[in-house]
């Protein structure tokens, strides 16, 4: 039997760890988080499946270790996974530049917030008007976070992690029978 650790696994762990640790910072501004800014540089290199899994599993693992799983987990995980796929196709023939991170990140954040705003009305009988009114300041903060992280974090991750060949490895473990 052969067990393979695919090339790029360490990079995913670095990306997930950065997001996880930042999200654990106490008293950080609400909805100011780097997950989309981390998904975007990875999506340039790891294809639609890798991009989907990066966003999806990042949310599932974080919720498993912190708040536990709920309906919000699956909705947000699917949304970040699909944003990863969208980012892959957006960046497929574009440079991994601050400008492009912002061009994808800001509308991606607004779309994400529009979809996830429906969690309250769909799963908790929250009135849509209340969800929409509460979503406005939430989305403004989320977009601000996206702008900051897409400007500072995305290019750094792309250059120092995603493109860094010294972080590439592939091991195969063999078990003799």
Share of the chain above pLDDT 70, in %: 90
Between residues 105 and 11, the one the model is more confident about: 105
Give the range among 3-12, 84-93, 124-133, 149-158 with minimum mean pLDDT. 3-12
172 has pLDDT over 60:
no
SS3 helix, strand, coil % of the chain, rounded to 5?
70, 5, 25
Domain that residue 66 falls in: 37-164
44 lies in a domain? yes
16 lies in a domain? no
Query: Phi and psi (nearest 5°) for 3?
Result: -115, 125
173 lies in a domain? no
22 lies in a domain? no
CATH number at residue 56: 1.10.1760.20
Question: What is the per-residue pLDDT across 16-63, written as a single tens digit (0 to 9) for each?
Answer: 888 889 888 988 887 888 999 999 999 988 889 999 999 999 999 999
2 lies in a domain? no
Question: What is the per-residue pLDDT across 131-170, written as a single tens digit (0 to 9) for each?
Answer: 999 899 999 999 999 999 999 999 999 998 888 877 776 5
Nearest Cα neighbor of 13 from 170, 167, 133 is 167
138 lies in a domain? yes
* Other residues' Cβ atoms within 10 Å of the Cβ of residue 125: 7
Between residues 63 and 176, the one the model is more confident about: 63
32 lies in a domain? no
pTM of structure: 0.85
141 lies in a domain? yes
Count of domains forming the chain:
1
């Amino acid at each position: 039997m052969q067990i393979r650790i695919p090339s790029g696994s360490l990079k995913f762990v670095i990306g997930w760890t950065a997001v996880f640790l930042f999200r654990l910072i106490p008293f950080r501004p609400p909805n100011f988080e780097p997950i989309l800014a981390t998904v975007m540089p990875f999506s340039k290199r790891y294809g639609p499946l890798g991009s989907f899994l990066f966003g999806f599993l990042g949310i599932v693992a974080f919720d498993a270790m912190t708040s536990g799983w709920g309906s919000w987990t699956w909705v947000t995980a699917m949304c970040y996974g699909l944003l990863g796929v969208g980012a892959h196709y957006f960046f497929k023939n574009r440079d991994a530049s601050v400008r492009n991170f912002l061009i994808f990140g800001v509308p991606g954040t607004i779309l994400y917030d529009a979809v996830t705003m429906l969690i309250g009305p769909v799963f908790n009988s929250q009135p849509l008007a209340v969800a929409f009114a509460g979503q406005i300041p939430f989305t403004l903060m989320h977009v601000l976070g996206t702008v900051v992280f897409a400007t500072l974090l995305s290019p750094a991750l792309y250059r120092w992690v995603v493109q860094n060949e010294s972080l590439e490895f592939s091991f195969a473990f063999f078990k003799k029978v």
